[in-house]
Structure 1
Amino acid sequence: MKKVSIVTVNFNQPQVTEDLLRSLQEVNNYPNVEIIVVDNGSTVNHVRDWQRKYPEIIFVRSEKNTGFAGGNNIGIGYATGEYLFLINNDTEVTAELVGRLVLDMESNCKIGIISPKIHYFDHPGMLQYTGYTPMNYYTARNASIGQFEQDKGQYDSLSGVTGYAHGAAMMIRREALEKAGMMSENYFLYYEELDWCERIRKAGYEIHVDLNALIYHKESVSVGKRSALKEYFMNRNRILFIRKNAPGFTFFIFCCYFFATVVPRNLLQYMKNREFSFIPVFLKSISWHFTNKPDSDNLGYRMTR
């Protein structure tokens, strides 16, 4: 039985993280796991208390908030499993989840990374993810299949190859990780798992979803439904993803679309909603690209707690 390293990242959410750890105790059908929790620069360091409370779990403290990719990369550095299961701390697992995903990996060596079906935690039976459509590189748009629909099994036949894994829960094969490399940390938040999937695909592997495996996600616990942080990184990284992954001419077409459609639409929406503080944040997310290369580690955003 191959070992699975379960990695999760905490940032100022100790109770949410402990809820996840309690749910992981239900993963009793696959005993060969190690659990790694990265405290990603939280204001209050709970690591010592957690070490006493959960002696069987590996806890790692980062004094700096390194973002979604950085926090997971720290955890990956401590992982010893053949498979690595990266899950958000604002998720809760089901008993068969890990064993089911391992079975998929063992039965198909082409799978580089796989995600389960995701339900919204606070809305029983409501789908968040049953796979992603391919990316339209001219608009940087794709869709989460079935999102906001009640789960009646209508998408279960879609198990198999999908556009992208979901960052809330994704199991990666170690060999694929070694070929594709770690997640790009200069995304900080959003789009980093899509970029990772592109590199895993280029390394010769497939991206899969198993709709017989299920996890629950407390969406928006980490960042909030609307915030300056989210507005900045969603827009900055949307452009960054295309810069990194699309051919030059495609990127040019995307820029034409973005400036002709997205910029005026967003500005009008901010004014209509009286969200005036978002306007400089949005403009800053665009101007970052005029002064930084795609691999720059300058986030262009002052991180505060």
Structure 2
Amino acid sequence: MKVVSIITVNFNQPLVTELLIKSIHEKCRYPALEILVIDNGSRVNPVPDWILQYPEIQFIRSDKNLGFAGGNNLGIRQATGDYLFLVNNDTEFTENLVEWMVEEMEQKPNIGLLSPRINYFDQPTMIQYAGYTPMNYYTARNACIGQFEEDKGQYDHVSGPTAYAHGAAMMIRRAALEKAGPMAENYFLYYEELDWAERIRRAGYDVHVHLKPLIYHKESVSVGKQTALKEYFMNRNRILFIRRNTSTGTFLIFLFYFLFLVAPRNLISYVVGGHSEFIPVFLRAVTWHISHDTESEDLGYTLP
């Protein structure tokens, strides 16, 4: 039987992480399982208490926040599974989630990365994710399939290729991981799982959804609060993703679109919305690309 490594990252949310662990214990009956929990530089280190509370789980502590990719990569490096199932700590498992995903991976060896159906935890009959449409590389825009639809079972039997996996729940085949490598840590936050999917495809594997299995995600249905950190990395990484994954010609077309349509729109929205403090943050996100290459580990942002 193939071993599955469940990997999740905690950052200042110990109770949320404990609820995930509880759901895994209650819902997951897959016998060949290891669980790795990474604490990503939380202000209060929960690992000593967790070791006593959950002796069957492997805990890894980072003294600083390494971001989404960096935190998960700590777990990836320690995991021993044939399949690695990366899940957000604010998710909750359902029955047969792991079993059905492993079955799909076993039946289709071309799959490198696989995501299940994701519904909102607070509104369990509302879909968050049933796949992604392909990226328009000239605008860096795509769409999430099924989002905000009422779940009437319309996707229960859907399985097959999708443009991108969802970072809240994605299973990678070890062979694909060994060829494509781990996630790029210089994204820190946002777009890293999209970049990973691109590299996994270039390594010769497919990215699929299998929507019979379901996981719940506690992300709010409403748009999250704007923060300087979010504005910086969303804009910097949107450009970084296109730089890393398209030709020079395509990037130049995207850059024209971004500078002459997206930038003015964003700057006006900051002023109108009373967030003029985001203007220098946005400008720093854009100008980072003048002095940094696509592999630079300098985030250009001082983390709180």
Q: TM-score, with normalisation over the residues of structure 2?
A: 0.97
- Give SS of 1:123's match: coil
* Alignment partner, residue 58 of structure 1: 58
Q: Match of 1:175, SS?
A: helix
Map 1:125-140 → 2, pairs under 5 A: 125-140=125-140
Q: Is the 8 A contact 2:120 2:220 kept in 1?
A: no
Residue by residue over 1:86-121, the C-alpha shift from the partner in whole angstroms, topping out at 9 and shown as x without a partner, is 000011111210001000010010000100000011
**SS of residue paired to 2:163:** coil
- Give the stretch that moved more between structures: 23-32 or 186-195: 23-32
Matches of 1:26 and 1:103 in 2, distance apart?
20
Query: Equivalences for 1:202-281 in 2 at 5 Å?
Result: 202-219=202-219, 224-281=224-281
Report the residue type matching 2:145 in the other structure: I
Name the residue aligned to 2:95. 95
CA distance in 1, matches of 2:43, 2:130: 35
Question: Structure 2, unaligned stretches of length 5 or more?
Answer: none
Any idea what the Cα deviations from partners look like across 1:94-151, whole Å, max 9, x if unmatched? 1210001000010010000100000011122111100000010000011110111111
Question: Deviations along 1:252-290, whole A, 9 cap, x unmatched?
Answer: 000000011100111111111111111111111101101
More divergent stretch after superposition (136-145 vs 25-34): 25-34
Matched residues in 1 for 2:266 and 2:105: separation?
Answer: 42
1:67-146 maps to which residues of 2 (within 5 A)? 67-146=67-146
Q: Which runs of 4+ in 1 moved over 6 A?
A: none
Amino acid across the alignment from 2:97:
L
**Offset, 1:24:** 0.5
Paired AA for residue 78 in structure 2: Y
State the Cα RMSD in Å: 1.3
Checking the alignment, whether the CA contact within 8 Å between 1:84 and 1:173 is kept in structure 2 is: yes
Q: CA deviation at 1:55?
A: 0.4
| Counterpart secondary structure, 2:26 | coil
SS at match of 1:26: helix
Deviation of 1:225 (Å):
3.0
Q: Between the two proteins, what is the percent identity of the paired residues?
A: 66
Query: How far did 1:155 drift?
Result: 3.5
**Cα distance, 1:157 vs. partner?**
5.0
Partner of 1:39: 39
Residue 291 of structure 1 is matched in structure 2 by: 291
Per-residue deviation, residues 218-258 of structure 1 (Å, max 9, x unmatched)? 1159x953211111111100000000000000000000000
Distance in 2, matches of 1:214 and 1:173, equals 19
Change (3 A) 1:44 1:229: same
Q: Which runs of 5+ in 1 are unaligned?
A: none
TM-score (normalizing by structure 1): 0.97
Tell me, yes or no, if the aligned pair for 1:27 and 1:98 is still in contact at 8 Å: no
Q: What is the SS of the residue equivalent to 1:263?
A: helix
Q: What's the CA shift for 1:77? A: 1.0
CA distance in 2, matches of 1:157, 1:235: 36
1:158, 1:246 → 2: CA distance? 29
In the alignment, what sits opposite 2:161? 161
CA distance in 2, matches of 1:288, 1:61: 30
How many residues align? The count is: 303
Q: Secondary structure at the match of 1:56?
A: coil
Secondary structure, in 3 states, of the residue corresponding to 1:25?
helix
1:9 aligns with 2:9: yes
The 2-side partners of 1:28 and 1:286 are apart by: 44
Contact 2:155 2:212 in 1 (8 A): no
Q: Does 1:179 align with 2:158?
A: no
Please report how far the alpha carbon of residue 27 of structure 1 lies from its aligned counterpart in structure 2 after TM superposition.
3.5
SS across alignment from 2:81: coil
Do the aligned residues in 2 keep the contact of 1:87 with 1:169 (CA within 8 Å)?
yes
Question: Which string of whole-angstrom CA distances, capped at 9 and with x for unpartnered residues, describes residues 150-196 of structure 1?
Answer: 11223445421100000000000000000000100000001000000
* Structure 2 letter corresponding to 1:262: V
| Matched residue SS, 2:118 | strand
